[in-house]
Structure formats: C-alpha cells, structure tokens
Amino acid sequence: MLEALTPDTVWMLLACSVAFVLGGLVKGTLGVGLPLVAVPLLSLILGGHRAIALVVAPVIYSNVLQALEGGLLKDSVRRFWPMMLAQTLLTVLTIKLTLDLSARNLNQMVAFSVLLALALMTFTPQFTISPRREKWASALVGGLSGLIGGVSSLTGPIIITYLMSLKLQREEFVGCISIIYLAAAVPMYLAMYGYGRMENTDLIGSVIGLLPMALGLAAGKRLRTRLSEQAFRRVLYVFLLMLSVLLVVR
C-alpha cells in the first residue's frame, strides 16, 4: 500500500486537505461558505464531479451542528417549506439533466456559480419581502437555487441574499440557513449517488475530509473574534475571484 503513495499522490492528498481546511475556516468565520470554497478548489485538483462528491460529509456535518445549535428546526420548516420543496424538486431534476456534462463543462458551471456569489457579495441587492409574498418568493428562490445546486452543489449565494432581505437576526439567520442547506443537500447527494455521479470511494474520501474541515472550522471560530467580517470578506472575495478564473481557463 505504501508503494502506491507516489509523490504525486501525496501532493494531491495534501492539496485536498488544504481545500477542506480552507472551507472549514470560512465556515467557522462567516457561518456559511464551506462548499463555495472547497468545491472550486477541489475541482482544480480532481475535477468537478469528484469535488462535489467529496464535500458531502463535511457539508452535512457542519450544517447539522449549526442547525441544532439554533433550536429553530420546527419554526424554520414551517416558514420556509415552499423554498425547501422547490429546491429539492429542481435540484434532483437538474442533476439528472446534467449527467452527460464533461468535466470541463462542469468546472465552468462551478466557476459561473462562484462568479454569481461574487457578484451578489459585491452588489448586495437591497430589497424587502413582505410577509404576504414571502411563501411565493421563497418558492422562487428555492427553484433558482435548486437549478444552480443541481449543477454545481453551490446553493448558497441566492439563499443568503434572500434571507438577508428578511432582516433575520444573526443567530436566526445561521440556524435557518443551516436547516435550508440540509434540506437541499440530503436529496441532492442521494440523487447524485443514485444517478452514478458519486461512488463509494468518494464517500470514504468525504468522511476522511471531516478531519481537516474540523480543524479549519475550529480555527475559523477563533479567527472570528480577531478579524473583522468585512476584512475577511475582502480576502475571500479576491481568493474566490482567482479560483473562478482558474476554473474557466483550466
């Protein structure tokens, strides 16, 4: 087995570990963003299909932790069920329609999703959703995020912008978005496995990725008290911009 650990293999494992650490670091600092960082990084190393599959365990584990900490499970499901339902349906449908995408095309889709996130981070839309229109708006947002998530697994940008428009308190925001992420992630990953876009070896690698992700998560929590969120977002913005450019030209 040791003979199989060539220098190239060792470097690949180290690079993947760094991707998980950085994803956990962002998640611990901002409360969101693990797949937004880890997926494009892993896509540069392994390609889009495997990158999406490898973040399964870290994404589910980190969001379960935050969802349970918030104590808002019942209220969130009652309020955002139209979003969760639309997101689930469109995610599963989109995954089926994109089974024949080449690795290059999938990387470009991931790059597009990252650029969308950057655009929303830069030009944060200022709007307010009235309670009367919230269920319809939630369903629309869920459908859009499902379309993007089915291709790239990056459902976050549109959902984050929408929840910000609802003027949720910080802890309420983190709890709600974690539950919404879980509602999208579980059927998405099950569909990927069922359609053959995820293999058992990917699941094993994903579980192993929990360790470096947890290290980054712990470091991010400590960093949150020392670095302003605005400063960290600027660093993250530049980092993601470079990643998206690399994915497009790769």
Residue 42 CA from chain centroid, whole number: 13
**Residue the block writes with tokens 């600092």:** 29
Is 119 part of any domain? Answer: yes
Q: How many domains does the chain have?
A: 1
Q: Kindly state whether residue 146 falls inside one of the protein's structural domains.
A: yes
Is there a domain that residue 68 lies in?
yes
Considering the domain boundaries, does residue 109 fall inside one? yes
Confirm whether 181 is domain-assigned: yes
Q: What is the pLDDT along the chain (250 residues), one digit of tens a residue?
A: 444 567 778 888 999 999 999 999 988 887 777 888 898 889 888 877 788 889 999 999 988 887 887 677 788 888 999 999 999 899 888 887 777 777 777 777 777 777 777 777 666 666 677 777 888 989 999 998 888 888 777 777 778 778 877 877 766 777 788 888 888 888 888 888 888 888 899 999 999 999 999 999 889 888 877 767 677 667 667 776 776 676 666 5
The pLDDT, as a whole number, for residue 55 is 93
Look at the alpha carbons of 90, 93, 95, 101 in this order and tell me if their dihedral is positive or negative. negative
2 assigned to some structural domain? no
Amino acid at 95: I
Q: Flag whether 1 is in a domain.
A: no
pTM for the predicted model, two decimal places: 0.79
Q: Report residue 144 as tokens.
A: 């859009």
Would the CA dihedral through 139, 38, 237, 64 be positive or negative? positive
Range of the domain at 233: 8-249
Residue 3 lies in a domain: no
pLDDT of residue 210: 95
How many C-alpha atoms does 112 have within 13 Å on its Cβ side? 12
What is the predicted pLDDT for the residue at 1?
Answer: 42
pLDDT at position 140:
92
